[in-house]
Amino acid sequence: MGDNSTSDIIINKSATSHIGAVDFENLSFGNTFTDHMLVCDFRNGAWEKPVIKPYEPFLIDPSAKVFHYGQAIFEGMKAYKDTNDDVWLFRPEENFDRFNKSAERLAMPSVPEEVFIGGMKKLIEIEKEWVKKGLGNSLYIRPFMIAIGSGVIAAPSTQYRFMIILSPARSYYSGEVKVIIAEHYSRAANGGIGAAKAAGNYSAQFYPTKLANEMGYQQIIWTDDATHTKLEEAGTMNVFFRINDTLYTAPVSERILDGVTRKSIIELAARENIKVEVRPVLVSELIEAADNGSLKEIFGAGTAAVINPIVGFSYQDKYHELPKLENSMALELKEKLTNIQYKVAEDTFGWTVKI
């Protein structure tokens, strides 16, 4: 990446801050937002000047294409503060690249680097006090783009709005996670938008996940749409399986999101001499490994939780409990990865970027 700083930005600071009214010890993930947001509109074939302004609702035409045809994409990132009060991003170029791949797939304009990363840095600079020190504390970053052009004709919009909002976050913990393997519903299909971080991918998961919740499971392990024999993702996360001392995870494809945490775990595991196989993983393999005792761990990987261990899974009405391990590979990798993010351990990969 080149120089992504930007001075061509309008800054309208809030007259007051509500940071003093926030209980940082009892944050509900994604429900509290900082004082400012970044807004940049695309009109007449070009991006206008980005603006940092007070966080507030905005008016939009009822016929805006985002409501009718779902042109909406987003990213999820975090900023971390080290013991010296410096703030760091984690692999922002990966999110920037993926965002524009999502934009291309949904026929939306690409966002310039100086707006996406340069604007993000300036916004976080202004909101630096919202990033709290200490392992588990972070600032969740949500860049997104929506179609704001009006009219209900089924065609791509000609006007778009790119925004960044920020939300202080505590350590993400969802308790014990039990999953059910999908036999009918699919997260994505070949030729579809599964590899894009599109809003519609997530809304389509809500109903089958609701059914799983009613059965006592927190998430679904999604399978391929054609045969339902290949294991793909867990809930909204990439998924890893530890059989004996090897980690297995599905390759990215048109159906599977190219997760930043996923690729970081693969690189980190290689450094730690942990064997990883990136290949299609069959449901039948998982059942066999669970039955013969070689299945040791399953865990999801994503920005919010980093790594989320799974304690058991159900398939065809049979529940398989995973062993409770003293030496969990998932927790070991999570510790090593978060130590890099918080600058507790040396970043030998060059993943962290200082604000």
**Consecutive 10-residue averages of pLDDT for the chain (355 residues):** 64 96 92 97 97 97 97 97 96 97 97 97 98 94 98 96 96 82 93 93 94 96 95 94 97 92 97 96 97 97 92 96 93 96 96 96
Among the candidates 171, 195, 225, a domain finishes at 171
CA geometry: angle at 306 spanning 142 and 97, to 5°? 45
Domain for residue 5, yes or no?
no
Assess contact for 111 and 162: CB atoms under 8 A. Answer: yes
Say what the pLDDT of residue 6 is. Answer: 59
Are 207 and 137 members of one domain? no
Domain that holds residue 111: 10-171
Identify the CA nearest to 205 among candidates 192, 220, 190, 195.
220
Are 137 and 186 members of one domain? no
CA distance 47 to 149: 14
Give the number of domains in the chain.
Answer: 2
Q: Tell me, what CATH number does 323's domain have? A: 3.20.10.10
Are 227 and 321 members of one domain? yes
Task: Record the pTM.
Answer: 0.94
Are 142 and 265 members of one domain? no
Q: Which token pair is 341? A: 């993010």
Assess contact for 107 and 41: CB atoms under 8 A. Answer: no
> Taking the C-alpha atoms of 247, 236, 194 and 186 in order, what is their torsion angle to the nearest 10 degrees?
90
Q: Tell me, what CATH number does 126's domain have? A: 3.30.470.10
Give the Cβ contact number of residue 251 at 10 Å.
11
Question: Radius of gyration of the chain from Cα atoms?
Answer: 21
Are 167 and 42 members of one domain? yes
Are 223 and 148 members of one domain? no
Say what the pLDDT of residue 171 is. Answer: 78
Are 251 and 296 members of one domain? yes
Are 285 and 216 members of one domain? yes
Are 158 and 183 members of one domain? no
CA distance 53 to 51: 6
Are 162 and 65 members of one domain? yes
CA geometry: angle at 249 spanning 246 and 251, to 5°? 135
CA distance 198 to 346: 34
Say what the pLDDT of residue 1 is. Answer: 42
Assess contact for 238 and 300: CB atoms under 8 A. Answer: yes
CA distance 200 to 215: 24
Domain for residue 72, yes or no?
yes
Among the candidates 117, 142, 171, a domain finishes at 171
Say what the pLDDT of residue 176 is. Answer: 84
CA distance 328 to 297: 8
Domain for residue 147, yes or no?
yes
Are 159 and 227 members of one domain? no
Among the candidates 123, 138, 171, a domain finishes at 171
Are 85 and 35 members of one domain? yes
